[in-house]
Amino acid sequence: MPNDIVFSAKNISKFFGQGKKTVCAVKDVSFDIANEEIVSIVGGSGCGKSVLAKIMLGLYKPDKGSFLYKDKNIVNTREHWNEVQSVFQDPFGCFNQFFSIRSQLKDAFGILKDKPSKQEIERRVDEALLAVNVKPADIEGKYPFELSGGQMQRMLLARIFALKPKVLIADEPTSMVDACVRANILDYLMKLKADLGMTIVFITHDIGLAYYVSDRIFIMHESKIVEAGKPEDVTQHPKSQHTIRLLEDIPDINREWIKK
């Protein structure tokens, strides 16, 4: 595993609200994520994992502690997004309903310092659509509200495939697609990781997905990381009661992977 550290968190906390209504979404969390590493942050709804993802994206700043990207504070989010991109669970919230999908995929290149030519942008958009099993002609002239949730999830992933960032924060990236497309998407993400040296952080409730794709797993519960380690160690020798509960939630028919 490469030694270069991409993300470094030291005792970070994030609060929302004021006074007695203050809620701690992330509490005293520390970790390092290395270049080209695949890490999954696993936990149930409300555990703080999506807030942590937004800190990595520079959308939130920690209220306490230190958070660095490549040994530097995130100061300019636009520059940060040149290298760090995201896929969120709600694709409709990430697209403007009043502009066509293709125009928005092309506009995404505006974030890059070195914007490709118009011809190169068209080629990369077509290539990205095909990568998520969508024919470019099928979305020509269409708007987000004309597509299903699963189709829109693919559009989010197509944007990532077109931009080819150094780091991807994937928050439940396959939540709205069927099993066949899910496998294709994960395979392509692994290919991008290999070809580009991409670092991937998966945010998920699915410990099975985390087991198969990750170099390390972080288990998050009630705003804290309660366990971290290699997939085999976390799943076969869990130390946290919450990890044990996540494993117990897996149907019996799917538990054999734990033993292999």
Bigger pLDDT: 178 vs 113: 113
With contact defined as beta carbons under 8 Å apart, do 171 and 220 qualify? Answer: no
| Edge-to-edge strand list for the sheet holding 199-204 | 84-87, 167-171, 199-204, 38-42, 216-221, 224-229
Is the pLDDT assigned to residue 259 strictly greater than 70? no
3-state class percentages of the chain: helix first, strand second, coil last, to nearest 5: 45, 25, 30
The residue behind tokens 């590493």 is 37
pLDDT band at 253 (very low <50, low <70, confident <90, very high): very low
Contacts of 44 by beta carbon, 8 Å cutoff, 6+ apart = 205, 221, 246
pLDDT digits (tens, 9 = 90+) for 12-65: 999 999 888 999 999 999 999 999 999 999 998 889 999 999 999 999 999 999
Give the per-residue pLDDT at 3. Answer: 55
- Partners of residue 72 on adjacent β-strands: 69
Residue with tokens 């396959």: 174
- At 176 the three-state DSSP class reads coil
Q: Is 220 left (phi over 0), alpha (psi -120 to 50) or beta?
A: beta
Q: Output the pLDDT for position 66.
A: 96
Question: Could you identify the residue written with the tokens 């993802």?
Answer: 53
Query: Looking at the 3D structure of the chain, how many domains does it have?
Result: 1
> Which domain does 127 fall in, by range?
5-259
- Round to whole Å and give the CA distance between 247 and 258: 9
Decide: helix, strand or coil at residue 40. strand
- The pLDDT of residue 251: 64
Per-residue model confidence as pLDDT tens digits over 192-234: 788 778 999 999 988 988 898 899 999 999 999 999 999 999 9
| pLDDT tops 90 at residue 141 | yes
Structure tokens of 191? Answer: 């290919």
* First-to-final CA distance of the chain: 23
Angle at alpha carbon of residue 194, lines to 135 and 81, rounded to 5°: 75
Read off the pLDDT of residues 92-129 as tens digits, 9 standing for 90 and up.
888 999 999 999 999 999 988 888 999 999 999 999 99
DSSP E strands: which ranges in 215-257? 216-221, 224-229
Distances, alpha carbon 86 to alpha carbons 13, 69, 200, 228, in Å: 21, 15, 10, 23
Q: Note the pLDDT of residue 1.
A: 42
CATH of the domain at 125: 3.40.50.300
Beta strands in the chain (DSSP E): 5-16, 23-34, 38-42, 64-69, 84-87, 167-171, 199-204, 216-221, 224-229
Question: Among the ranges 66-70, 161-165, 197-201, 235-239, which has the highest mean pLDDT value?
Answer: 66-70
The first and second tokens of residue 72, run together, are: 């530097």
